[in-house]
Amino acid sequence: MPAPVSQPGRLRWRPAMAKWEERDKRWIVEDRQDGVNVNAWHWQETSRLAWSRQRLADLLTGLTAELDPALGQARVTGVKDLTGEAYVTVRKGNKKLAVYDLTLVLSWAGRWQIDGKEVKGEIRVAEFALANEPEEYEFTCTADASSGSTDAQANLREAMAAQRGKLYTLLAQYVAELGQL
C-alpha cells in the first residue's frame, strides 16, 4: 500500500520504496547475464582523446599573432603532440562529466619581414586539466634556435606568446564542447 505524503493543503500517495531483500522488479541495478548497463546507471567512461586531438587541431590551427604586416607574420601551423587523457563519464543515465588532463604542444611558424627570415617554434600548454584554472596552466612559447635570426626569433616568439589569452579562450570552447558530447 502506498504511503501518504503530506503537504500543506494536499494529501497525495506515493508508492512504497522497493526493498532489496524482496528482489523487487523495480530494481534495475543488478548483475545481469548479458552485462548490459541498463539506463547507463553505472559509471560509464568513453575516451575522447582522438576527438580531442582533431577538435583542438581544428580550433587552434591558424591562430595568428597580431603583428604589423610590415614587421612580420606568425601563426599556429598545427598540433604537434597531445598527451594525457580526455573522457566523458556518465552516471545514472544523465549525470555527465567531462574529465581531461592534457599536455598540448602546438607548432608555429612565421616570417620576420625586416630580415626575411623564417622562424619556427612551439607553444606548450601543460597542466591543462579539469582541476586547474587557466592561470595554473604551464604556458611556454619557444623559437627553434636553428631558424631565423636572433631578432626574428625573439620578436616572433614574443608575438606568439602574446596570444595566450586567445588560446585560452579557444581551449575553454573545447572544454564546453567536450562536456556536450
Same domain, yes or no, for 25 and 60?
no
Quote the percentage of the chain above a pLDDT of 90.
60
Same domain, yes or no, for 81 and 115?
yes
Q: Who wins on pLDDT, 4 or 177?
A: 177
Between the alpha carbon of residue 142 and those of residues 47, 55, 78, 112, the distances in Å are: 31, 23, 15, 16
Same domain, yes or no, for 136 and 84?
yes
**Residue 105 near residue 80 (C-beta atoms within 8 A):** yes
DSSP letters, 66-110, are ---TTTEEEEEEEEEEEEEEEEEEEETTTEEEEEEEEEEEEEEEE
pLDDT for 18 beyond 80: no
pLDDT for 168 beyond 70: yes
- Residue range(s) defining the domain that contains residue 20: 3-39
In angstroms, rounded to a whole number, what is the distance separating the alpha carbons of residues 128 and 125? 7
Same domain, yes or no, for 9 and 89?
no
C-alpha cell at 157: 616568439
- For 48-57, the pLDDT digits (tens) are 999 999 999 9
In angstroms, rounded to a whole number, what is the distance separating the alpha carbons of residues 108 and 60? 10
How confident is the prediction for the chain on average, in pLDDT? 86
What is the number of structural domains in the chain? Answer: 2
Same domain, yes or no, for 19 and 48?
no
In angstroms, rounded to a whole number, what is the distance separating the alpha carbons of residues 60 and 64? 9
